[in-house]
Structure 1
Amino acid sequence: MTVIATLLLAFAAGLLGPVGTAWAGSVHDGASQPVYSYADAIRETVWVDTGLDGVRGGAGHDRVAADIIRPREPAAHGRRIPVIMDASPYYSCCGRGNDSQVKTYDANGNPLQFPLYYDNYFVPRGYAVVLVDLAGTNRSDGCVDVGGASDVTSAKAVVDWLNGRATGYSARTAGTPVRAGWADGSVGMIGKSWDGTVANGVAATGVAGLKTIVPISAISDWYDYYRSQGAPLYQGTPADLASYVEDPATTAKCAAEQADLAAGAPYDGDWNGFWQQRDYVADASKVKASVFVVHGMQDLNVRADEFGPWWDALAARGVPRKIWLSQTGHVDPFDYRRSAWVDTLHSWFDHYLMGVDNGIDRQPMADIERAPDQWSTDAKWPAPGTRQDLVALAPGTLGAGAGGTVGFTDDPTRDENAWAADVDRTTPDKTVFSSGVLQHDLRVSGSGSLTLTVASSTTSAHLSAVLVDVGPAVIRDYQGAGEGINTLTTQSCWGEGTPTDTGCFMDTSAATAQVGATVFSRGWIDLGHYASLDQQRPLTPGAPYRMTVQLAPTDHVVPAGHRLALIVAGTDANLIDPPDTRPTLTVDLSHSQLRLPLTAGADTVTPGQPPAPTMAPSTAPLTVLRPTQQRDALADLR
């Protein structure tokens, strides 16, 4: 035993006192303290009955594996403790975190390494950490259904077991019943990407005992992950994703589920019952847990439009909530703001799982990254004083035709970076509107929308809209290999460790890029869904169609001296798939409008400034942003 471990045990013994004295617990000075031994913690696996038969073979209910690590001392004193839970499909196939850690086991199948730092940091502070293999992955029965009943129920069943409402067993088959008598019933779910998505889904069931969730770069509506208002996003299919994470031995048994995944997600982008089952926003009214949302505003995998509707629905219900928005892509805050993140998460879990009155519920709601490693806070989000302002789209000299119309021809080889690079140059594949040079900072906080009346020359058409901050800046390199971070050669340790689970992780730094323009919000639609998302329809060439493009939520300040630009074009290469024709699109400006959530205030817009600029084309040449990297056809949700 190390000197540190010995001292910790001595400290713990002093707090616990001799047998028969009052049990002090781990909370002191307004925070849980690392007073328990990580090395001596109880490590075990329980298989929880989900009540489902995923392989549809009639052989009985599926059981999912819950690997548990919990401090030994509270159990010895008959004291119950809260749980931090991460339910994931990635514990064997792909790994978790920037270090891609997987679960490891000894020769008898007992857990050794618990991926990520949750166990190392929180177990000594009096929490149990439970890592659940989603149905069909690693050591769990069943089939992966990508956000449906199997995913959500396999995690919810563990919450129920921790609250005495489900049955757990000592083995995957047969075994003896196991109770969670050590758990106090308070559960907090956390996780990045698919893991955080499951946390959203479980919260939307309203399950009792789930006190908080921390979804990081998570999905709230699977339709919006694969489709954007009917337009197919460059993400592969749910069936592909299931095959990617499933236990190979299970895949052959899951043919029926695979068929359902293929049939339920047609390429035409129609909304149906398959997607309805995977829309957690629709059930936000059931959420009882507090929610701490974390997202990268430049995440082009799980895009920012995934947190926006979820946040708005939670706000309407008055759910206690907090939000961090970074400039990164698909990155965990542990890897871009490590110390502040761990401190904040510690306070969050202490408050909502242990009941510590540490004031985190009264702190500013929002932390926003303004530039690499530079953060600001707001009491609420969107920022106080934000209002939806109408921004006029005025015809100008660039691309404007007679009668207040503009037009462009879809070029599926071009993307938003190419458009931004040519923001002041006439090209046939786009139309640009610009505010002119701003005299004051202009803050966009929340979700905007662009309503267009458009005619297509062909029977099918996709449309893209992006907001651009035109001007020099240093940003996180969200399109680089690390999506805004560099992985260094050094390590730092968080919490306690053992030789098989050290609690040490690779350090990181901000990866930056010098740019001449920054795309900070985007949206896409399929014009064939002009009448309804339920059914794609062929367009009548030359006929006008009116649709509203929902722009992804953001919080961005366009500084004085820069310009705000709107680019409207066809296919955004590598982000959406092209239509089956190559249309020329004509926009009727007299029946089109842009709405932006603009914030008035001393730190954003000088009082007396007009609430919104008129945007018209402008003409100085500008070269910005390198071409985007090719993205894999199969999205990796890790």
Structure 2
Amino acid sequence: MDSRIRRTTLIDLASSRKGLSLHFLLVPIAIVASVCLPGGLHAEESEAAAVPVFKDGEAQVVPAFEDPDRWIRHDLWVETEFDSDKDGKLDRVHVAVTRPQETEIDGLKLPVVYVTSPYFAGTAGNDLEYFWDPKHELGETPPEHKKGPRFERKGLRPIIAKTHLKEWVPRGYIVVHSSSPGTGLSQGCPTVGGSNESLAPKAVIDWLNGRAKGFTAPDGGEPVLAYWTTGKVGMTGTSYNGTLPLAAATTGVEGLEAIIPIAPNTSYYHYYRSNGLVRHPGGYLGEDIDVLYDFIHSGNPEFWEACNCDVRDEEMGPGMDRETGDYNDFWAGRDYLNQLEKLRAPVLMAHGFNDWNVVPEHSYRITAALKKKGNVPVQIYYHQGGHGGPPPMKMMNRWFTRYLHGIENKVEEDAKAWIVREADEKGEPTAYPDYPHPDAQPVELKLQGNAPEQGALTLGSVSPSSPATEMLVDNVSFDGKTLAKAESTNHRLIYVTPKLAEPVHLSGVARISVRVASSKPAANLSVWLVSLPWNDDPQAKITDNIITRGWADPQNQESMRSSQPLQPGQFYDVSFDLQPDDQIIPAGQQIGLLIMSSDREFTLWPKPGTELTFDLRATKLMLPVVGGEAAIKFESAAATE
């Protein structure tokens, strides 16, 4: 019998040369594979098989794999181990496969680059009509908001998405896409961080390794086998699509050999809350987890209302707790830091230090925990931009070449941290032994008052004539940039160093400790670390005067799980981390600590008037400085004049 007999045949062909997608249904019957294939070839006409090629530890583009007209594309449904829509049947998720035709005509087995998402079928849009109103008094029950609309799924079978095809198929990989539960043609309910979002990609990886069932239809259908893969899988994606590789990895599924999460949301609490405070992601004021649920819910109309009732209304409604902002079991179940025990896949993480949507602590907290755990290779790539931004292709290629193709390129011996310096392109990171920089040391700076004008941020002792306390009056009408640039205002406090005589390299997590009293039982507390003077020139090298930010609820000074109303006039000690950063502050700049109450871009908007009083002698800022205190040199007063 012909040695090219396959366990499946390909039917329902459509010519890609006519601009149509190929839809291959895989049926498990043994026949001679002599059907027509992309590019007009027949199985019996196949010449010497093309194979992956490697050079300098990287997979190279193979001409035979490069032509999209020669790719095989098909879709199927993989059976999971959960029934999230509660219809009495295990949910199936929709999967699409794109692979070189050599996997069919030559029996070539290749590893998989896998991307999964709730976005592939379209989203409901960001209509503020369905967001929570940020004008909300702290601690009070928020007014109801309008639930998201039902929307029609976009995109037709069999193409779920075309992302990553041009990058990886020509280099000798199969690319697999799937739609998350409750989205597109996948069954089940979306849960925004629930267990089914981890178990769905696990099922797909199990199917790729012969441990789960695939079918030609969402209900019934013929079995489908993934005979064309080695079973080695790498996952990547950005934002929500970057969260799901981490979610899958926490299951410890065999076959998931490496992940490259890009700007992942690693905890929905840390996305929608901060140190006990209700804090919205940058650019999405008024969004909360139930709004995101409505945004992605594009799944089966038959179960649309049932999913809304079970997940959005009965689980998320009480669980997310917009009244207090406290951490609770609902949020803990959606925090992947609590689920790292089984993770075994090497991790190459990527994030932007100026990502104020998914703030940089999301990647930092996971990589720090994994390094402490110590049983998987971990590297991190940071750039100075905003949301998104993958590592350079060379880094990703070396990562997948090592762990998916098994080429010993010693990637695990590469630098542990890669950071794009301020004036450099994203593709030109600087290698560092680790992040934070091993030579970074905490440096304490004290506050010397001069409100309502600029006070001083000093390394030395504070003048005895400095006021013991200073007060600000909350007014969300003014944003942080306006307050930072103001010469005089009682709506913020600001403390500034002298001009730097030499550049200062900050690397790691700054921490603020304040002793604060409020005139009301609840108050926002927001902190910005800024580089001054403010430079509004878009062409300037200092593209963002914000070094880092942080937010906290003084009511949670003792516990993230329990907030206690503040006694007006009583002082409380509150300490919290600002967002991680790695930045070189140029000579001639000043480092400023901006303290305000409500942050117009992120927090709730209570009515103006809350007074916050700070005990300056018990308030300090700890900066992570490479080289420690000795590395901070200020211009002399004479030079400044």
Counterparts of 1:560 and 1:390, CA distance in 2? 18
> Is the 2:182–2:298 contact (alpha carbons within 8 Å) kept by the matching residues of 1?
yes
- The TM-score, its normalising length taken from structure 1, stands at 0.79
Q: Which amino acid aligns with 1:304?
A: P
Aligned partner of residue 393 in structure 1, secondary structure: strand
Point out the structure with the larger strand share: 1
CA drift at 1:24: 5.0
1:256 counterpart SS class: helix
Q: 1:126 aligns with which of 149, 160, 172?
A: 172
Aligned counterparts, 1:32-43, within 5 A: 32-35=59-62, 36-37=64-65, 38-43=68-73
Q: 1:139-538 alignment to 2 at 5 Å?
A: 139-235=185-281, 236-247=287-298, 249=301, 250-254=303-307, 255-259=309-313, 260-267=315-322, 268-318=324-374, 319-333=376-390, 341-364=392-415, 365-371=417-423, 373=425, 375-399=428-452, 404-422=468-486, 425-471=487-533, 512=539, 518-538=545-565
Give the SS at the match of 2:404.
helix
Counterpart Cα distance in 2 of 1:175 and 1:448: 56
After TM superposition, give the deviation of residue 584 of structure 1 in Å.
0.9
d(CA) in 2 for partners of 1:527 and 1:385? 32
Judged with a 3 Å threshold, the aligned counterparts in structure 2 of structure 1 residues 354 and 434 are, in CA distance, closer, same or farther, namely same
Cα contact 1:296–1:331 (8 A) shared by 2:
yes
CA contact (8 A) 1:297 1:326 kept: yes
Cα pair 2:423 2:541 within 8 Å, conserved: no
Partner secondary structure for residue 219 of structure 2:
coil
SS of corresponding position for 1:394: strand
CA deviation map 1:364-402 (0-9, x unaligned) = 331323136275413323254433423221324345796
* Matched positions, count: 543
| Contact 2:123–2:298, Cα closer than 8 Å, also in 1 | no
The answer (yes or no) to whether the contact 1:223–1:275 under 8 Å persists in 2 is: yes
CA distance in 2, matches of 1:62, 1:516: 47
Q: Which residue of the partner structure matches residue 562 of structure 1? A: 589
Q: Larger relative CO (CA 8 A, sep 6+): 1 or 2? A: 1
Aligned counterpart for 1:593 among listed residues 599, 604, 620 = 620
1:238, 1:262 within 8 Å by CA — same for their partners in 2? no
Residues 370 and 376 in structure 1, CA contact (< 8 A), matched pair in contact too: no
Residue 195 of structure 1: CA displacement?
0.7
**Unpaired stretches in structure 1, ≥5 consecutive residues:** 3-7, 97-101, 334-339, 478-511, 621-638
Pairing partner for 2:92 from 59, 63, 67: 63
Change (3 A) 1:125 1:446: same
Q: TM-score, normalised by structure 2?
A: 0.78
Using the alignment, how far apart are the partners of 1:381 and 1:464 within structure 2? 29
Task: Tell me the secondary structure at the aligned position of residue 39 of structure 1.
Answer: helix
Offset at residue 215 of structure 1 (A): 1.1
Partner Cα distance (2:495, 2:634) in 1? 9
Match of 2:158 among 81, 104, 110: 110
- Kindly provide the CA deviation profile for residues 525-545 of structure 1, in whole angstroms up to 9, marking residues without a partner as x: 011222211122211111111
Distance 1:331 1:474, change over 3 A: farther
**1:575 & 1:141 partners in 2: Cα distance?**
35
The secondary structure found in structure 1 opposite 2:69 is coil
- For residues 533 and 369 of structure 2, the distance between their equivalents in structure 1, rounded to whole angstroms, comes to 35
Amino acid at match of 1:241: L
3-state DSSP of counterpart to 1:172: coil
Percent identity over the alignment?
30
Choose which of 549, 558, 571 in structure 1 pairs with 2:576. Answer: 549
State how far apart, in whole Å, the 2-side matches of 1:582 and 1:359 are. Answer: 59
**Structure 2 alignment gaps of length 5 or more:** 1-15, 18-37, 126-152, 282-286, 456-464
Deviation at 1:355, TM superposition (A): 1.6
Aligned amino acid, residue 432 of structure 1: I
Distance 1:580 1:157, change over 3 A: farther
Give the letter aligned to residue 552 of structure 1. Q
Change (3 A) 1:24 1:56: closer
Report if the CA contact (8 A) 1:103-1:114 is conserved. Answer: no
Separation in 1, partners of 2:338, 2:510 = 21
Distance 1:266 1:180 in 2: 44
- Report if aligned partners of 1:138, 1:247 keep a CA contact under 8 Å in 2: yes
CA drift of 1:415 comes to: 2.3
Separation in 2, partners of 1:103, 1:184 = 32
Of 464-473 and 170-179, the range deviating more from structure 2:
464-473
Report the CA distance shift for 1:329/1:30 in structure 2 as closer, same or farther (over 3 A).
closer
User: Relative to structure 2, which stretch is displaced further, 462-471 or 222-231?
Assistant: 462-471
Q: Quick one: structure 1 residues 325 and 515, their matched pair in 2 at CA, closer, same or farther if it must change by over 3 Å? A: closer
1:150-193 Cα deviation digits (max 9, x unpaired): 22221221122222222211111101222222221211111111
SS at match of 1:392: strand
- The higher radius of gyration belongs to 2
Deviations 1:297-353 (Å, cap 9, x if unpaired)? Answer: 1112111121221121122123322222222222334xxxxxx82333222211221
Residue 80 of structure 2 corresponds to 50
Q: Which amino acid aligns with 1:220?
A: T
The residue identity in structure 1 corresponding to 2:58 is: A
**Using a 3 Å threshold, how does the CA distance of structure 1 residues 408 and 231 change in structure 2: closer, same or farther?**
same
In 1, Cα distance between the equivalents of 2:389 and 2:559?
A: 36
Give the 3 Å change call, closer, same or farther, for CA 199–403 of structure 1 in structure 2. Answer: same
Q: Contact 2:515–2:616 at 8 Å: present in 1 too? A: yes
Q: CA 1:376 to 1:240, structure 2 compared with 1: closer, same or farther past 3 Å? A: closer
Is the alpha carbon distance of 1:515 and 1:363 closer, same or farther for their aligned partners in structure 2, counting shifts above 3 Å? closer
How many angstroms apart in 1 are the aligned matches of 2:618 and 2:258?
Answer: 45
Cα deviations by residue, 1:237-268 (Å, 9 ceiling, x for unpaired): 21111111111625323121122122211102
- Equivalent position SS for 1:371: coil
- Calculate the aligned-residue CA RMSD, in Å: 3.0
In the alignment, the residues of structure 2 paired with residue 160 and residue 474 of structure 1 have an alpha-carbon distance, to the nearest angstrom, of 52
Alpha carbons of structure 1 residues 516 and 201: separation in structure 2 relative to 1, 3 Å:
closer
CA distance in 2 between partners of 1:589 and 1:321 (Å)? 40
Answer whether contact 1:229 1:525 (CA < 8 A) is retained: yes
| Structure 2: distance between partners of 1:137 and 1:176 | 23
